[in-house]
Chains A and B, each alone.
Chain A
């Protein structure tokens, strides 16, 4: 009897067995999900909105990028044509890519380390002073369009601060057209972007630094840590890795998304496309020319680059302090 039973189990074909196993698993999952009905109710409002306004747009952007779509007619499938045009037929796009990388590669890492460096120095101050300094560095980020003041500083006439003072001191005889001259646009804009780079990540660093366990510093001192830089590398940074990661994500996202400040200061489109970024190109095709398929291809590329960069930086940050 026993033997017969064994045989029947052994002889059973693989597929039904797998189905039965999966079925049992699904049943258990379903039961567990039913037990947590309340949890799903809790997350439902957010998740539905998130799906409609974040997930669906990303997916449809990828799908639309393979079509020709001008809003009026239904999208027509064109395969890789949009991407081919972007890289081989659209010189402005290549300029935009070059500019975006120029801005992102300079302002991203510099802004990130500047934020970390300033947060680290602020951390040693007394709480009241620390609060004031935090406000000063964070203020440009939250002040709405306060960056338009740079338009006054680098105004093209002699009433602008930079021109006026340089002329008064005798360095210049006639005003420089700062935002109309391709050579000056990028450097000035980089300064402006760096001025605004103390964002959410900066606050996260300040908080992370304040919460490093004081006992670790004492222990480090006993173990022969002799100066503040060793302390930073061996004790502080490893204990605030999660904040470093968060700051990196925020920085990458914002540095690839640069457009608003540039357009407000250098004009849109700017002279020689010197301040034209990928986002500018996207806005140009998406909201002015209404070539939605083409714009979606740009958005998809931007999306891919942002995610890839984030993954790469996360990988690098794992090595901090090791």
Chain B
């Protein structure tokens, strides 16, 4: 008995039995396979030549991989009225400016909410947390009317500006900034730094993991933004919109559609892989305290 106990104390996690460990790994493998298979199938389909997409019985894995589908996408895009590079430019433009602006504006506000004791800060934060509790669908119609009033229809501003004030980004940044030690900021203030310099030179470098997290979340939203409600001119349309037009071609474009899906998913996945550890670090402080 004593021996048994001793053996178990050495385990890193004292309350976990070996059998349970094995069971949980098996469950994870099964669920992981289920989750991954559709994505693998997307890749596999994108590499299938057209005749392989329409065989009976259907195959999961590609037998004779080719890049024809990707080639088709570029040909189809080349035929469109506006050049393909224009769509890419539009989406990159919206994504870069929207994300950078969001990072600066949300961080400024988060810094004041986390580190300044001004009257009304709990009210402001409370309202923003409440905004996490409803989705964008609720505000879609008035937002459209507001864009009309502002004259921002058919303008990038309609896509970029609302994204600057996303509550999720502010919330995560504020929670993360609370961990910055006050003494650090005090020291800088005593040295005579102005508040903006304290924010920009002392606080911001401390929260680099949170930057990346905000960037990823904002990037994902803007990267996938079709914006069809707000943008009418063909030369201002975004990449997801242009690609969705290809997919709308139906069964004849099955191969090109598969290629489009892969093009759209690969960028966010790569960015997530690069920044994963930083995101997890930020999310550790994501909790809503009561």
Contact = CB atoms under 8 A, between A and B. Distances in A.
B109 A47 contact: yes
29 contacts: A38-B196, A39-B121, A42-B108, A43-B124, A46-B108, A50-B131, A57-B139, A118-B28, A133-B28, A135-B276, A137-B31, A142-B265, A142-B268, A144-B240, A145-B244, A149-B261, A152-B41, A152-B258, A207-B283, A208-B283, A231-B16, A242-B288, A244-B287, A253-B132, A253-B134, A283-B140, A296-B142, A302-B134, A318-B290
Given A49-B165, A152-B41, A286-B141, A57 B146 contact: yes
Given A159-B53, A159-B56, A299-B138, A53 B269 contact: no
A241 B135 contact: no
A258 to B, nearest CB: 9
Given A42-B116, A140-B39, A203-B280, A254 B124 contact: no
Given A57-B146, A207-B281, A231-B15, A200 B168 contact: yes
B15 A165 contact: no
Given A53-B161, A143-B39, A200-B168, A303 B15 contact: no
A259 B137 CA distance: 10
B287 A208 contact: yes
Most buried by B among A43, A137, A153, A256: A43
B106 to A, nearest CB: 6
B146 A203 contact: no
Interface size class of B (residues with CB under 8 A): 35 or more
A134 interface: yes
A142 B287 contact: no
B137 A302 contact: yes
B245 interface: no
B141 A124 contact: no
Nearest to B226: A145
Contacts of A218: 14
B143 interface: yes
Chain A interface secondary structure, helix, strand, loop or mixed?
A: helix
A195 B38 contact: yes
Interface string B63-84: 0000000000000000000000
A204 B247 contact: no
Interface in B13-57: 13-17, 20-21, 24-25, 27-28, 31-32, 34-36, 38-39, 41-42, 45, 53-57
Interface in A211-235: 211, 217-218, 220-221, 225-228, 230-231
B97 interface: no
Interface string B236-272: 0000100010010000001001100100110011001
A204 B17 contact: no
B211 interface: no
Given A144-B240, A299-B138, A226 B284 contact: no
B205 interface: no
A145 B264 CA distance: 8
Contact of A57 (B119, B120, B142, B258): B142
B225 to A, nearest CB: 10
A207 to B, nearest CB: 4
A210 interface: yes
Contacts of A71: 145
Most buried by A among B16, B28, B199: B28
B273 interface: yes
A71 B108 CA distance: 37
B94 to A, nearest CB: 15
B15 A221 contact: yes
Given A137-B35, A161-B58, A200-B168, A206 B108 contact: no
Contacts of B35: 136-137, 139-140, 195, 198
